Chains A and B, each alone.
Chain A
Amino acid sequence: MTPEIPVLILIGQPNCGKSTLFNGMAGLKAETSNFPGTTVKHTHSQITFEGRLLSIIDLPGTYSLNPSDPAEKVALTHLFREKPDVVINVVDASLLGRSLELTLELLELNKPMIVALNMMDLAEKKGVVIDTTALEGKLGVPVVPLVARRGQGVKTLIERALDVLGEPREAPAQRYSDDVESAIDEMELLVPQGFPLEANRRFTAIKLIESSGLYSDRAMAEADPSLKRNVDRIRRDLEAKRGKPAYEILAAERHHLSQKIFEDCCRLMTGDRQSPGGKADAVLMHPFYGYLILAAILVGFFFLIFKVGNPLENLLLSPLQHLREALAVRLGAGTLLFHLADGLLQGIGGGVAIVLPYFIPLLLLMALLEDIGYLARAGFLMDTFMHRIGLHGKSVTPFILGFGCNVPAIVATRILESRRDRVVTALLIPFIPCSARTTIILALVAFYLGPWWALGFYAVNILLVAVLGRVISMFMTGPSPGLILEIPSLKMPSLKSLLQKTYFQLSSFLKFAWPLLVVGSLVLSVLQFIGADAVINAGLSPLVVHGLGLPRELGVTLVFGFLRKELSLLMMLQALGTGYRGLLTVITREQLVIFTVFVSLFIPCLSTFGMIWKELGRKIAFLSAALSVGVAVVISLIVRVIL
């Protein structure tokens, strides 16, 4: 029997190219990158293949079916919940030996399955020659070689996946050592009817033996004490025989079996296996040059974005300014119609002229860093500094992603194993200047005071993150495991993937943020027309005027800054009743800096706040908001005193 809309599920180890394959199958849906653990959510898509509707699901990468971080738990949960008709196990061919360990676990599920042997080009470069026919024989499932990055083999993969659809699979051909097998057999017989674990008895039996000390183990003890006694006995016998814990016995069994299959099906054309890009890595992670390169990359990015964005901005601003003046003449400066037209113009024009020139280059460069695989290297370099602020190198990825947008950065904290690390990282992320704030910093500070001021602003901002991290860590103690981070091979980025990723982020800006900018501008226009902004400004004036020393008209813009940080910038111009070029005639340079500092820090934007709530709970979200407001006030006051 074949289902009407078959569900194909992609599962594989982190960084094996699942999302690239998924994109190849589904068009522009998921993001990919070269960092273990970028897909931290599962992604659905429906495609039509040769007139047939298929449902495809991309799961977060998982090293094994014994999850150890929240992203891996998502993978395991959805593997069962989605009830896949075909399991597509995506494997990095250049790391076949290790990848097969997950394949062996998946085979135990006895579901229709197919192995997508991805990155064949990389394997070839490493000198690994794989006999796919032999591998098919060993695994008992079809193996399709492909290069997802170039779209090679994707069609064949879907065809062969449809071939295995609905075909009952034989029990796995590969067996563990005799003592382990007999323990599994015995356990299988003891699994009661209707035991609440999906898949089959053998899979359940293996997981029962492996899962000592875990939550499921304790739950079982309460539900069925006699089963628990039996599990314990079988596990103890096995552990006594081998002299090590059960989970280690099974891990070692899979490892040896994988290595054996690997050796039987592969030939190595080179001697000792070097890590690919070994020479490049020796420089990129060099104790001296590595940091030099890291600093050069960050500063270089900054100037590149500024140099690209600044002329573009100028180019786009002049016609806007003319249009605005023409409108004032035609509609009459004080009328409601002018206010509305002006709000609309500021919203639309501001999005185009101020946000896009900086936003697009930043997105492209971030995508480039991700795809090359530089983020993991940055994690390696920064680990030692992260320890000083109570974290470790794995938090570097969410931080760097945070420069693009805080929202995915919060989601990316799922790659951290301990909750304590997640909370600390998530509390710090809102202090990372995201692209929206970069826009403000570049458009105000760099534009009016020069790029070095802006760079200094960044330096102080990063220092602030470090100090805050240190302070938060003093209050939040808890288990924080050390760094264990896979360093993926360096990969040539493909232009297609970079553009896809940029487009993906940009379209969410266009669909979500831009309308918000326009509506925000319009609302402010109406507020100004009916005089309601004065009420809000009066309410906030103790803080805005007396505390920060800013014009009282800016009070209302801060409220809107909670929706989107860019809004504060656009509305600042609107509230002060000036064009972009005339800004310094109404406020001083010092006020400009204080405003930028306050807006950058004062609260996580609405989306970030919502994401923190969703990922880590209400308490942490409000803690983050309170922390931001407190820090923003203190730092702004300090800046005011210094300047």
Chain B
Amino acid sequence: MPIMKSLIELEANSAARIKSIEGGRGIRQRLFALGFHIGDRISIQGRGAFRGPLLVSNLTTGTCLAVGRGIAQRIQVEAEDDP
């Protein structure tokens, strides 16, 4: 049974699917434009120290983004089962 959680709670290097993005149009449209869409497979590549941003790699489109924690909190993902 896959569990929903926010991107910020996702463990490093485990894949998940983006289920929803909360927030205003500006942020959502920005994420879409940068190649992060609902349904994409992503994984966390790293976390900045001192509550820094997350380094998120999009496995579907091959792009990589630094996402601040405030925004990461609003991205809900569904973790895939551990292989």
Contact = CB atoms under 8 A, between A and B. Distances in A.
Contact of A98 (B48, B49, B51, B61): B61
B66 A383 contact: yes
B2 interface: no
Interface residues of B, number: 39
Nearest to A252: B37
A68 B34 CA distance: 11
A482 B55 contact: no
B52 A383 contact: yes
B32 A248 contact: yes
A291 B68 contact: no
Contact of B66 (A213, A274, A380): A380
Contacts of A286: 46
Contact of A380 (B55, B60, B70): B55
- Counting chain B CB atoms within 10 Å of each CB, the highest count among A126, A379, A385, A486 belongs to A486
Given A384-B51, A483-B67, A487-B55, A66 B61 contact: no
A529 interface: no
Contacts of B10: none
Given A247-B29, A417-B26, A486 B45 contact: no
Contacts of A68: 26, 29-30, 33
B59 interface: yes
Interface in A592-617: none
Which secondary structure characterizes the binding site on chain B?
mixed
A485 interface: yes
A567 to B, nearest CB: 40
Interface string A381-399: 1011101000011000000
B32 A251 contact: yes
Given A485-B65, A485-B66, A383 B48 contact: yes
Nearest to B74: A482
Interface residues of A, number: 52
- Best-surrounded residue of B28, B32, B51 (most CB of chain A within 10 A): B32
Contacts of A387: 68
Contacts of B28: 248
B42 to A, nearest CB: 11
Contacts of A533: none
A275 B42 CA distance: 11
Contact of A384 (B53, B57, B61): B53
Given A247-B25, A273-B62, A483 B71 contact: yes
Interface in A223-247: 245, 247
Given A95-B61, A252-B37, A380-B52, A481 B66 contact: no
A63 B64 contact: no
Contacts of A288: 49
B31 interface: yes
B43 to A, nearest CB: 8
A251 B52 contact: no
A64 B31 CA distance: 11
B62 A97 contact: yes
A272 interface: yes
A273 B43 CA distance: 11
A535 B11 CA distance: 70
A252 B38 CA distance: 8
Contacts of A121: none
A95 B31 CA distance: 16
A379 B45 contact: no
A383 B69 CA distance: 10
B50 to A, nearest CB: 5
B67 A484 contact: yes
A290 B58 CA distance: 22
B47 interface: yes
Contacts of A383: 48, 52-53, 66, 68
Contacts of B58: 98
Contacts of A46: none
A483 B32 contact: no
A286 B68 CA distance: 16
Given A66-B33, A252-B38, A485-B66, A97 B49 contact: no
A307 to B, nearest CB: 31
A186 to B, nearest CB: 24
A379 B61 contact: no
Contacts of B38: 252
7 contacts: A68-B30, A68-B33, A95-B63, A248-B28, A259-B60, A483-B68, A484-B31
Interface of B: 15, 25-35, 37-38, 45-53, 55, 57-71
Which 10 pairs of residues, A with B, have the shortest CB-CB distance? A482-B68, A98-B35, A287-B49, A483-B68, A63-B33, A384-B52, A251-B32, A482-B70, A98-B61, A380-B66
